[in-house]
Structure 1
C-alpha cells in the first residue's frame, strides 16, 4: 500500500471527500486542455458534413505509423523486418503488419513504448486476466475525453451536470464502520460510488444516497446499476430521479438488464465500448445503433472472430493490430442518425461472470480483472474458480523474470482486500491455465448462478 493510500485510509471522512476532489482537479487539468477543445470543436462542426471515412482513416493511419517508426524501437524493427513501406496506399495494406498479442505487449513493453513524454498510466487486467500497464500522452487522453464527452453531448449530457459514477476503485477503507460508500468529487460535480461494498446489506444506503443527490446522468459499471435496480424492485423502493441519460461501460448488458435499469432509474441507457489499453471508442446513437469513432482508429475482424484494434491516439504505448481479447459483429448497414462509419451489430467480449461471497455480495469480472492492474506486467494470467459460496480457488501464472516477493505480497494484500476474510482463498502459482473447448481462457469459472 502506497503512502498516499495509507494517508487517505487513515483520514476522517471529510478529508477523504477533499482528497477525492483534489484528485478530480488533477484529472481535470490533464483531460481538458487545448487539444480537448480542438477535437471537441471539430466533432461538433462536422456533425452534418459528408466525410470520406476510408480516406480520412488512411491519412490518420499513415501519420500514426510514421510516428511509430520514429519513436518506437519495436515498430521500427518490425516494419523493417517485414518490409512495411510507408505511406500505405490503401487500408487493406494494414493486414501486412503482424498482429500484436497481449503477451507480446506484456513482454516487449519497454521496446514498444515510445521515447515521448507519456505520463498518464493506464492499468488493465481485462477479461483474459493478463496484467498490463500502458502509457498515454496528455494529448492522447484529451482526445479520448473529447470523443467521450461528444458521445454524451449527443444525448444531452454535458460536463458539470450532477453525475453519479459506479467505480471499482478502493474508495472506502476496510475499517470504515459508517454506511457511506461514496465520495464527492466537486471538481466534476460527481458522486463516486464504490462497487466493492455493494451487497444486500448496503444497497438501501446506496439508493438513499442516489435519491438525495438527484443525478442528471449516471455512468460506470452496469453490474452495480443492475443489482441496485433489482433490489429496489424487490423491496418496493421508488426513486424520483430522472437522469437525462445513463452510460454503462466495461461490461455487457442484455435487453432485460437494460430495461430494469431504465425502469428503476427513470433514464434511457446508451452503451459504449473502449478499453484501458486505448482501443478506439464505439458508442450508441439515439437510434440504438453502435458506431466506431473512426477518427480514433480502425477495428478489423480477425479470422477467428476476435477484433484487432489500431488506435491512432496511443502515442505512449502504440497499438497496431492489437488483439484486445473481445469479439464484435459488424454490419454493412447504414444508420438513420447519419453517422458515416459502419454499424457494430454486437459487442460480444465483455462478460459479467461473478464470484459470490457468503453474505450474498457479488464480485463481478470488472473488479476481478482490475486486481492485477496493481502488478505491472508481472502476471501472465489469472483465473478465479468457485464451486461453493465459502471458498474460491485462484490460479495465477507469474512471469519468471518479473514476478517478485513484493509482487506476491501485494497480490495477497489485494486479494484479501477484495474478498475479505469471510471466504477461504486457495491461491496457487501455476505454469499454465487450461483453455476451454472454445479456445478461450476464462477469467472466472463458477458453478453458482445469479
Structure 2
C-alpha cells in the first residue's frame, strides 16, 4: 500500500472512530516543549477539573470523596490525593458499575483487559479518552520520524481460528500492518521480507527478541527500521543486543496499560518521558506506581495501583523535553519466592541478572519456576557456561543464602510462545 493511500485510510478510520484525534494531537504538540513548571501548572488545572467531574458524576467517587473529606475543587497538587485510598484491578472489577460516570453523553466503547494477573476488567472508554491516548502515541512516534499509518510489523499474542485469521489479516491490511502468526522457517522468512518495506516494528518485547534472534541466526538482511517498540513486558538488556543486530536499533520502551492509558514513552535519547498532560504518576511506600488518568471521565481511574515497581527521576532528558522521567521499570511486584524460612519478592531475580549484566557484562535470557517450597529452577537460554554459573550463583548466594536451593538449567532455545512472558512463575 502506498503512503498516500495508507494515510487517507487512517484519516477515514479516525474520522469514524476518533473524530477528535487530530485536534488533540495538535494540542499535545503545542505542550511538548513547555518547561516543567508550565507542565505542572497545566496538569494541576486539568486534574482539578477531572476530579470535580469524578466527584459529581461517579457514584463510587462521590461517596469515597465524602468519606475521606477530599474536596476536588481545592486540589492544588499531588499531595492532596494522599487521603484517597489506592485502587487495584480487583477494586475496579468489584465496584465496576458504581465507578462508571452517570452523565457521559459522548460516544463510548467497551474496553476489556485481563493483563498478567488474569483478572478480567471491562469498562466504557469515551471517545476523547481513547483519542487522547492515541494522540499521545502519535506524538511519541514523531520522535522517530514515524507516522501510525506507516507500514509496520506487528508481534502480538494471538491463538485464533482460521476464520478469525482471515478477519485479522483484512484489518491489518487496512491499517498497513502485517503480523507473524507462526514461527516456522518459512513464516519467519516471509515476515522478514515484509520488514524490508516497513518503517517500524512493535509488539511484546520477548517476541521482538525471539524474531530478531531467529533473523540473526538465519542471516537475513533487514534494512534498519526507524523504530522497534516493545510493550507490555520488561525489556531485558539481551533484547537490545539482538534488536540492534537485526533491525539497527534498540527496543524502545512504551509503558502503559489499557485501563491506565499511555504512561510514558522512551525518546531516542533514552529518556522515558511521563505523559504528564494525561496522567498523574505517584509512587507508594513500596515503590509501586499509582496512576490517575486525567481523561478517564467515563470510568474514572484515580490512584490506580498497577502492581509495577518503578523508579522515578526529576532529572532532565538531554532531548530538551521537560517531562519528568521514569528512570527504571523493574517489573511487577508479583508473587513471592518461598524459601524454607522466609519469603522474597519475585523481583529478586531481576536484580540478580541485572547485577551480572552491569558488573560482568553477561547478558542472560532467563525464566524461573518454583514448584516446591525452598527450591526454584532457573532456566538460562544458551550454551552451558561455567563463568555464567559462577556469576549467577554468587548473586543468588547474596540474596537467598541457603534458604532457597536454585537449580541452574541451560536450555539451547526457549520455546516461542505468542503470549506475554512471565519471568517468574509459581506453582505453589
Same fold by TM-score greater than 0.5: yes
Query: Quick one: distance in 2 between partners of 1:222 and 1:319?
Result: 26
Contact kept in structure 1, 2:33 and 2:322, CA below 8 Å: no
Structure-2 residue corresponding to 1:78: 64
Q: 1:247/1:321 Cα in 2 relative to 1: closer, same or farther (>3 Å)?
A: same
TM-score normalized with structure 2 length = 0.70
Structure-2 residue corresponding to 1:266: 248
Query: Quick one: distance in 2 between partners of 1:122 and 1:140?
Result: 11
Contact kept in structure 1, 2:265 and 2:273, CA below 8 Å: yes
Among residues 24, 35, 55, which one is paired with 1:50 in the alignment?
A: 35
Among residues 331, 335, 338, which one is paired with 2:313 in the alignment?
A: 331
Q: CA deviation at 1:29?
A: 4.2
Structure-2 residue corresponding to 1:90: 77
Among residues 40, 44, 53, which one is paired with 1:67 in the alignment?
A: 53
Deviation per CA, 1:126-156: give whole Å up to 9, x if none.
2223221122101111000000011001110
Q: Does 1:219 find its partner at 2:202?
A: yes
Q: CA deviation at 1:319?
A: 0.6
Query: Quick one: distance in 2 between partners of 1:348 and 1:443?
Result: 12
Contact kept in structure 2, 1:165 and 1:218, CA below 8 Å: yes
TM-score normalized with structure 1 length = 0.67
Structure-2 residue corresponding to 1:239: 221
Question: In angstroms, what is the RMSD of aligned CA positions?
Answer: 3.1
Structure-2 residue corresponding to 1:308: 290
Write the mapping of 1:280-319 to structure 2, written as runs, cut at 5 A.
280-319=262-301
Q: Does 1:445 find its partner at 2:428?
A: no
Q: CA deviation at 1:219?
A: 1.0
Structure-2 residue corresponding to 1:228: 211
Contact kept in structure 2, 1:207 and 1:228, CA below 8 Å: no
Query: Quick one: distance in 1 between partners of 2:208 and 2:214?
Result: 10
Q: Does 1:164 find its partner at 2:153?
A: yes
Structure-2 residue corresponding to 1:126: 115
Q: CA deviation at 1:326?
A: 1.1
Identify unmatched segments of 5+ residues in structure 2.
1-8, 336-367, 372-421
The structure with higher relative contact order (CA 8 Å, sep 6+) is: 1
Write the mapping of 1:71-220 to structure 2, written as runs, cut at 5 A.
71-87=57-73, 88-115=75-102, 116-117=104-105, 119-173=108-162, 185-194=172-181, 197-198=182-183, 202-213=184-195, 214-220=197-203
Q: What secondary structure is seen at the aligned counterpart in 2 of 1:133?
A: strand
**How many residues are paired up?**
331
Identify unmatched segments of 5+ residues in structure 1.
1-22, 354-383, 388-441
Structure-2 residue corresponding to 1:411: none
